[in-house]
Amino acid sequence: MIATARLVAGKDLRIEWRSRVLLWQVVPFGVMALVLSGLALGPTRAGHSSAGPGLFYLVVLLVTLLAINRSQAIERTPGTRASVATLGLDPGGVFLGKALALAIELWVIGAVLLAGTVLFLHTALAGSLAAVPSLVLTLAALAAAGTLYGALTGEGAAPTTLLPVLALPGFAPLLIAGERSFSAALAGGSPWEWWVITLVALIAYLAVGVLLYGVLEES
Amino acid sequence: MNPPVAELEEAVVLTGGFPVLAGVTLVLEPATLTVVVGANGAGKTSLLRLLGGLDPLARGRGVVAGVDLANGDRRLLRRRVGWLGHEGSFYDDLSVAENLRFAARALRRPLEDVAPALARVGLADRAATATRRLSAGQRRRLALAWLLVRRPELWLLDEPYASLDDAGRALLDELLVDVVAAGATVVASAHDPLRSTQSRRTLTLAGGRVVGES
Tell me the per-residue pLDDT of B75-132, one tens digit each, with 9 for 90 and over: 888 888 888 887 667 888 889 999 999 988 988 888 898 999 999 988 889 988 988 8
User: Quick check: is B201 in a domain?
Assistant: yes
Same domain, B18 and B69: yes
Whether residues B76 and B176 share a domain: the answer is yes
My answer on whether B98 and B198 are in the same domain is: no
Q: Which domain holds residue B131?
A: 87-151
> Which regions in chain B score pLDDT beneath 50?
196
Per-residue pLDDT, A218:
73
In three-state secondary structure terms, B54 is: coil
Average pLDDT of the segment spanning A38-44: 77
**For residue B6, is it left (φ>0), alpha (ψ between -120 and 50) or beta?**
beta
Specify if B105 maps to a domain: yes
Query: Are residues B26 and B101 both part of a single domain?
Result: no
In chain A, what are the domain boundaries?
2-218
Q: Which residue of A has its CA nearest to B105?
A: A7
- Shortest Cα distance from A90 to chain B (angstroms)? 9
Contact A86 B79 (CB under 8 A): yes
- Amino acid A179 reads E
Residue A43 has pLDDT above 70, yes or no: no
Mean pLDDT computed over every residue of chain A: 87
CA atoms within 13 A on the CB side of A81: 15
Query: Would residue B160 count as lying in a domain?
Result: no
Is the Cβ of B82 closer than 8 Å to some Cβ of chain A? yes
Question: Would you list the DSSP string of A31-83?
Answer: HHHHHHHHHHH-S-HHHHHHHHHHHHHHHHHHHHHHHHHHHHHHHHSHHHHHH
Is the domain of B178 the same as that of B76? yes
- B163 falls within a domain: no
| Same-domain status, B142 and B183 | no
Chain B positions touching A91 (Cβ under 8 A) are: 75
Q: Is B35 a domain residue?
A: yes
End-to-end CA distance of chain B: 23
Under the banding of pLDDT at 50, 70 and 90, the label for residue A211 is very high
- pLDDT of res. A45: 61
Residue B199 within any structural domain of the chain: yes
Per DSSP (E only), the strands in B125-193 are: 154-158, 185-190
Q: Is A89 in CB contact (< 8 Å) with chain B?
A: yes
Provide, as residue numbers in chain A, all residues whose Cβ is less than 8 Å from the Cβ of B105: 7
Nearest residue of chain A to residue B51 (CA atoms): A86
Report yes or no on B113 lying in a domain. Answer: yes
Check which CATH number belongs to the domain holding B37 and give it.
3.40.50.300
Contact yes or no for B146/B103 (Cβ under 8 A): yes
- Across the interface, do B91 and A7 touch by the CB < 8 Å criterion? no
Residue B196 has a pLDDT of: 46
Instruction: Enter the DSSP assignment of B79.
Output: T
Number of domains present in the structure of chain B = 2
Interface of B with A in 39-78 (CB under 8 A): 49, 52, 54, 75-76, 78
Distance CA A155, CA A76 (A): 8
ipTM of the complex as predicted: 0.81
